[in-house]
Structures are given as structure tokens and as C-alpha cells.
């Protein structure tokens, strides 16, 4: 207790959710890591289906998305069928569960 847990990524089967700072260098490193993963695993990242979801208003999101090769999307959305980015107090957001 007392130690904060930092979550950097969530992985499930062929879905991944990665958390990071809004910096071009981090996006380029992420792209390099995923490209290396593709080479080693022979799996393919579908960049056309990949999205960046900003938590706050970030002025350079389109630049980051172009560096990663994906699109910018907005919250709320669903991840593995669960609502992501909704306020817990919005009860109707949880009706489908």
C-alpha cells in the first residue's frame, strides 16, 4: 500500500493498449519496437486499424499519428467490449455489460 502502480500497456490476444506521453520520440520508439516485434513474431500490426486516443486536448496529435502511421480517434470508445473513457457515474454507459 502507498506505492502507486503505473500501467504502461494492456495486452490481450491480438489487441494492445499502450499508454505514453505525447512526444514524437516516444512515438518513434514505439513504432520501432512494434516493427521489431513484427520481424521476430511474423505477426503484422494493422496500422490502418490502429488509433491514438488523446486524454486531453493535445495540439500535435495529428503529427504523432502521422509518425506512427495511424489515425487520431476520440474517447469514449470500447476496448474488448468494455467502455473506455466514460465517466463511472454515467450509469447508462455500463448498461451493455
56 falls within a domain: yes
- Are 84 and 76 spatial neighbours (Cβ–Cβ below 8 Å)? yes
Tens of pLDDT, residue by residue over 65-90, are 999 999 999 988 888 888 888 776 66
**Mean pLDDT of the chain, nearest integer:** 83
- Are 8 and 18 spatial neighbours (Cβ–Cβ below 8 Å)? yes
59 falls within a domain: yes
2 falls within a domain: no
pLDDT confidence bin for 93, thresholds 50/70/90: low
- pLDDT over 60 at 1, yes or no: no
Q: In total, how many domains does the chain have?
A: 1
Instruction: Look at residues 79, 93, 24, 86 and name the one whose alpha carbon lies nearest to residue 51.
Output: 79
- Find where cell 513474431 sits: 41
3 falls within a domain: no
Query: H or E segment at 76?
Result: none
Domain boundaries, position 14: 9-94
User: CA 60 to CA 67: how far, in whole Å?
Assistant: 11
What is the pLDDT averaged over residues 7-29? 83
17 falls within a domain: yes
Amino acid at each position: 500500500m502507498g506505492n502507486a502502480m503505473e500501467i504502461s500497456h494492456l495486452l490481450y490476444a491480438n489487441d494492445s493498449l499502450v499508454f505514453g506521453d505525447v512526444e514524437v520520440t516516444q512515438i518513434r520508439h514505439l513504432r520501432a519496437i512494434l516493427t521489431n516485434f513484427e520481424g521476430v513474431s511474423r505477426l503484422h500490426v494493422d496500422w490502418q486499424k490502429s488509433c491514438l486516443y488523446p486524454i486531453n486536448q493535445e495540439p500535435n496529435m495529428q503529427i504523432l499519428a502521422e509518425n506512427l502511421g495511424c489515425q487520431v480517434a476520440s474517447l469514449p470508445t470500447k476496448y474488448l467490449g468494455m467502455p473506455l473513457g466514460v465517466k463511472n457515474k454515467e450509469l447508462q454507459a455500463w448498461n451493455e455489460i
